[in-house]
């Protein structure tokens, strides 16, 4: 989309440029005239001589400012289109911080080369994100959940043809589309029966009763292509796929392309970017993790993010850890008596105070204890950590138990909708929370109305009551880059928009992520001085309130932030930024060089806050 408003930019800039040089010439003539008059009239005495440096200094500052204005206007004007070139083909699907070859050169090995190392790739050249040759805008939800464009993801022909890979359940349609079977292949009867089986094993009548058991959010590790998560979403459970970075056939890229929540992450050497006691269930189906490696530290990490009374579900036929731990069937009823422990895996689960609830066929379910004192009795193996982990952001894995003294130690079976008591446990004033939610309720319709080309027309205006609103399924993947209480997410859910939100809590800000997760939303801690752990073109809309101010106060680069937004935003995706006027203008100037459509909108309340509404164009090669 290219409006005539953009075609007027060079004329506007050339007018401003001509005015700046005219002003410079007039002031230069005036200063020279004063100096010549003073010299010729004999007034250039010691007093005048002492004043000369001030006159010269002021003139120099004015000249430097004029030159800077000229360079800025020149950048935004004549060279507007060509300022930043497209990124090379090698960066079409690349993710900064996960450059395996660079990590190997930096000396990382033993699996750590697949981990996150932002320090290795900090100085990447700025360039505009390139879409693959056959890229197409994703289908709208819910159609896009079941059919995606094959050119939008990086899959090799071998992965389509290999009968032994997880891709064998993909189906190619008309040579450019991929369809996803409802049968995920995890069990013979399909994903719905698999979900029902899990519910039965934890003592429920069906998977529709997960909420009654306190299960509202699930961390799905190694999610295949996301069918289990898609089913859980249909049950109004928030299931976040988390899988390791993969150069081709990425599980995270596939899930996000389908409009399902997903995040790059792995169990290698560092903690996940979640606080303690974050999830009601952790699920692993053929996720290829050797859980008893590293003296059980991977299981300790699961215990850290799992809430009291939460469930660890493992479905892993024929794997190393499965065969060595619970390969011998001992029944399938809840509360089955267990024999002596004969493997490190079983010993670890016992010392973690987990109870094996049930096992059936290839699925095993453990439940974390609700008794925090249980860990103290087994501290000889896994001691208690000193203090709470606070903002756990890719810290090294530890061999100690955390969360037992947290005020958030509340069994999932006792969880309920947020009330004033629970808000106070989170350190949140109930009145502040209510006011924030009401603000986003009232702001949502205004925000949604701005997702329209009408604001970029020849005669831009704010969409009015008579203008039709964008359809509810216009966007699917939304990121709130500075989520605070998660109230924008709550307002979207109340209004029944068919979106999900990745709520990001920036490092250095108040850690409200436990509150966000307790509402059943998706969320993660992140340092916006670094790249976000996702693939290019994976979000339909980015929202950032006050993030530019946070970045500036942290002395990080707003330029880097804008290019990161360009990387993770799909073509024709939307951005809404709210911040102070000066920072909004700085961002607008940069965004103009990226060829985005952009408008600055006055909030109309007399404050110095402005909205910057942008749409990323579809740039062909």
Distance CA 205, CA 481 (A): 39
pLDDT on residue 439: 93
What pTM does this model have?
0.83
Q: What pLDDT band is residue 48 in, cutting at 50, 70 and 90?
A: very low
What the block records as the tokens of 327 is: 């390969």
pLDDT on residue 169: 60
Asked if 149 and 481 touch (Cβ cutoff 8 Å), the reply is no
Lowest-confidence region among 380-384, 521-525, 548-552: 380-384
Paired sense of beta strands 569-580 and 609-615, if any: antiparallel
Mean pLDDT, the chain, whole residue set: 80
Asked if 590 and 558 touch (Cβ cutoff 8 Å), the reply is yes
- DSSP class per residue in 408-451: T---GGG--S--HHHHHHTT--HHHHHHHHHHHHHHHHHHHHTS
Distance CA 243, CA 265 (A): 5
Please tell me whether residue 130 adopts helix, strand or coil conformation. Answer: coil
pLDDT on residue 25: 53
Q: How far is CA 241 from CA 209, 254, 305, 515, 537, in A?
A: 21, 10, 15, 20, 17
Q: What pLDDT band is residue 99 in, cutting at 50, 70 and 90?
A: confident
pLDDT on residue 388: 62
Distance CA 544, CA 524 (A): 15
Tell me: the pLDDT tens digits for 560-597? Answer: 999 999 999 999 999 999 999 999 999 999 999 998 99
Please give the average per-residue pLDDT across 450-473, as a whole number.
78
Q: What percent of the chain has pLDDT over 90?
A: 50
Q: Is pLDDT of 264 > 60?
A: yes
pLDDT on residue 552: 93
pLDDT on residue 187: 44
Burial of 311 (0-12, 13-18, 19+ CB in 10 A): buried
């Amino acid at each position: 989309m290219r409006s005539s408003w953009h075609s007027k930019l060079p004329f506007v800039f050339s007018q401003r440029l001509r005015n700046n040089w005219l002003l410079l010439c007039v002031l230069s003539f005036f200063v020279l005239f004063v100096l010549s008059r003073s010299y010729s009239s004999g007034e250039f005495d010691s007093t005048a001589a002492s004043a000369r440096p001030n006159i010269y200094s002021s003139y120099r500052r004015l000249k430097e400012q004029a030159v800077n204005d000229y360079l800025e206007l020149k950048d935004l004007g004549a060279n507007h289109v060509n300022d930043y070139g497209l990124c090379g083909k090698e960066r079409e699907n690349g993710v900064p911080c996960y450059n395996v070859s660079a990590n190997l050169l930096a000396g990382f090995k033993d699996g750590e080369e697949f981990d996150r190392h932002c320090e290795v790739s900090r100085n990447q050249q700025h360039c505009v994100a390139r879409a693959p040759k056959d890229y197409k805008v994703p289908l709208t939800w819910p159609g896009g959940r079941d059919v995606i464009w094959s050119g939008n993801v990086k899959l090799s022909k071998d992965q389509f043809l290999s009968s032994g890979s997880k891709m064998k359940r993909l189906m190619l349609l008309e040579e450019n589309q991929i369809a996803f079977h409802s049968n995920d292949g995890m069990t013979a009867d399909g994903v719905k029966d698999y979900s029902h089986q899990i519910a039965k094993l934890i003592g429920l009548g069906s998977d529709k009763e997960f909420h009654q058991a306190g299960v509202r959010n699930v961390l799905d590790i190694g999610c295949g292509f996301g069918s289990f998560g898609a089913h859980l979403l249909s049950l109004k459970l928030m299931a976040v796929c988390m899988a390791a970075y993969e150069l081709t056939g990425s599980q995270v890229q596939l899930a996000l392309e389908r409009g399902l929540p997903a995040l790059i992450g792995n169990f290698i050497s560092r903690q996940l970017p979640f606080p303690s006691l974050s999830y009601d269930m952790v699920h692993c189906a053929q996720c290829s993790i050797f859980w008893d490696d590293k003296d059980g530290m991977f299981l300790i990490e699961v215990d850290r993010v799992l809430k009291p009374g939460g469930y660890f579900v493992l479905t892993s036929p024929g794997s190393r850890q499965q065969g060595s731990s619970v390969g011998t069937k001992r029944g399938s009823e809840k509360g089955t008596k267990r024999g002596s422990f004969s493997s490190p895996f079983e010993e670890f689960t016992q010392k973690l105070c987990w109870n094996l609830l049930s096992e059936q066929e290839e699925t095993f379910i453990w439940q974390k204890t609700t008794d925090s004192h249980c860990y103290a009795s087994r501290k000889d193996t896994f001691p208690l950590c000193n203090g709470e982990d606070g903002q756990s952001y890719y810290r090294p894995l530890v061999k100690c138990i955390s969360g037992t003294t947290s005020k958030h130690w509340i069994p999932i079976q006792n969880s309920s909708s947020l009330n004033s008591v629970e808000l106070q446990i989170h350190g949140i004033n109930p009145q502040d929370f209510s006011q924030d939610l009401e603000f986003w309720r009232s702001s949502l319709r205004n925000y949604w109305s701005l997702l329209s080309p009408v604001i970029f027309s020849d005669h831009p205006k704010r969409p009015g009551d008579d203008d039709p609103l964008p359809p509810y399924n216009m966007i699917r993947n939304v990121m709130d880059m500075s989520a605070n209480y998660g109230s924008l997410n709550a307002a979207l859910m109340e209004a029944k928009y068919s979106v999900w939100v990745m709520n990001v809590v920036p490092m250095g800000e108040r850690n409200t992520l436990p509150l966000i997760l307790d509402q059943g939303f998706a969320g993660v801690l992140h340092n916006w001085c670094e790249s976000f752990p996702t693939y290019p073109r994976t979000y339909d809309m980015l929202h950032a309130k006050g993030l530019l101010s946070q970045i500036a106060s942290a002395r990080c680069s707003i330029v880097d932030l804008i290019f990161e937004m360009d990387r993770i935003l799909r073509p024709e995706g939307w951005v809404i930024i709210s911040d102070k006027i000066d920072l909004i203008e700085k961002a607008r100037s940069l965004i103009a060089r990226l060829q985005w459509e952009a408008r600055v909108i006055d909030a109309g309340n007399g404050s110095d806050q402005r909205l910057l509404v942008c749409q990323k164009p579809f740039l062909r090669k």
